[in-house]
Chain A
């Protein structure tokens, strides 16, 4: 594959390093995490979910996880894909409004209800809806639900996306994109933490 491995790049894993060798033992996982990234961000068919929409949702989702190399990467991707400055500004402002701590939400009514945890029910601010449009507004609200309170998800959330103009296939790809980023940002964070711990051990 011509492209550089995105997880290695974001985690700062150098060729020939100890972590490079460890990742090489899980070659299928490494190559297919990369293929997942490519299938989501360089798809063969973007008709149900445009590249600009994908970049906007990705910048929002990774930004919600806090500032990091991953968030900066997708912010740059959005800047490269969006042809309107107001969209970039809107995503930046909505990340600030949406930041909180998860996971929270409700369990099905019953013995687990004592573990229910209340938290922000995020909605896009009224003044930014015109910059985002109905589809992206619905996508950001759904993405926030998936990031912070996935156990709150209900069939009504699918209906909200359909009503905002998302097709069933578009919903599947949107869900995969948010869920994949939830994986990618964690693998990168975990590998960075491990690399730092090992570097410290060598130094001490």
Chain B
């Protein structure tokens, strides 16, 4: 295995990810595995070739992920879904997930400096009413026991979100409690 150079700060740079246990070799993938990967190109990724050891779970997880983040009809703008993902990852401590979704949040919001402040200062950074409400709701959902309550709903509504958009925040933040735990525990990021 090549040398791992783990990042020690949160960053928007592109990172690699190295598995601690054996992914399936590309040569051993069958049609059942490709169905699990959803996008054939994902066979190039060590992370997905590891998760594809359980293809049915990976396929359902991938389709859940895509709809929560990419289906922006009648709902929260993509930038704020990515913000929920980045804030959750920052709070749980997933440097890899935070890097990917901070980059997306920057791309879609054009607020790269604010996103960087979330990474540098943490989830208490003051990013304005609307983003603060999304970050706070994501953090409350990530806590165990879950701390999300009526106060979060009120703040999100005051910031202008309707119930469909609030559901997008709940879905996006909750999904990253799934993603963070896989990324953090099956391998590690590398610069």
**Interface of A with B (CB < 8 Å)?**
18-19, 22-23, 25-29, 31-33, 35-36, 38-40, 43-44, 64-66, 101-103, 105, 107-112, 115, 142, 145-148, 150-151, 153, 155, 157-158, 162, 168-169, 171-173, 175-176, 178-180, 182-187, 189-191, 193-194, 196-198, 200
In the complex, given contacts A145-B185, A183-B178, A197-B150, what are 19 additional A-B residue pairs having Cβ atoms less than 8 angstroms apart?
A: A22-B163, A28-B63, A32-B64, A35-B59, A36-B61, A39-B54, A43-B56, A103-B93, A103-B144, A108-B95, A111-B9, A146-B181, A153-B185, A157-B185, A169-B53, A176-B58, A179-B177, A184-B174, A197-B153
Which of B57, B59, B143, B185 has a CB less than 8 Å from the CB of A103? B143
Interface pair A187/B174, CB less than 8 Å apart: yes
How far, in angstroms, from A103 to B142 measured CA to CA in the complex?
8
How far, in angstroms, from A39 to B56 measured CA to CA in the complex?
6
Number of A-B residue pairs with CB-CB distance less than 8 Å in the complex they form: 196
Interface pair B182/A28, CB less than 8 Å apart: no
Interface pair B54/A173, CB less than 8 Å apart: yes
Interface pair B174/A151, CB less than 8 Å apart: no
Quote the shortest CB–CB distance from A3 to chain B (angstroms).
14
Q: A175-B185, A178-B181 are in contact. Are A110 and B9 (CB under 8 A)?
A: yes
Tell me the count of chain B residues lying within 8 A, CB to CB, of chain A. 65
Quote the shortest CB–CB distance from A13 to chain B (angstroms).
11
Q: A110-B9, A169-B53, A193-B153 are in contact. Are A25 and B74 (CB under 8 A)?
A: yes
- Whether, in the assembled complex, B171 has its beta carbon less than 8 Å from a beta carbon of chain A, the answer is yes
Which of A64, A107, A173 has a CB less than 8 Å from the CB of B57? A173
Interface pair B56/A150, CB less than 8 Å apart: no
CB contact list, B54-80 vs A, under 8 A: 54, 56-61, 63-64, 66-68, 71, 73-75
Interface pair A28/B146, CB less than 8 Å apart: no
How far, in angstroms, from A18 to B170 measured CA to CA in the complex?
16
Q: Name the A residues within 8 Å of B173 (CB-CB).
A: 186, 190
Q: Name the A residues within 8 Å of B15 (CB-CB).
A: none
Please, what's the 1-or-0 string for B23-39, where 1 marks a CB less than 8 Å from any CB in chain A?
Answer: 00000000000000000
**Interface of B with A (CB < 8 Å)?**
6-10, 20-22, 50-51, 53-54, 56-61, 63-64, 66-68, 71, 73-75, 91-95, 122, 141-146, 148-150, 152-154, 163-164, 166-168, 170-171, 173-175, 177-182, 184-186, 188
Which of B51, B91, B142 has a CB less than 8 Å from the CB of A176? B51
Residue of A nearest to B184 (CB): A150
How far, in angstroms, from A74 to B50 measured CA to CA in the complex?
27
Interface pair A109/B8, CB less than 8 Å apart: yes
Instruction: Give me 14 A-to-B residue pairs in the complex whose CB atoms sit less than 8 angstroms apart, sorted by A's number.
Output: A35-B63, A64-B144, A112-B8, A112-B10, A155-B188, A157-B185, A158-B21, A171-B186, A173-B54, A175-B181, A183-B175, A189-B141, A189-B146, A197-B154
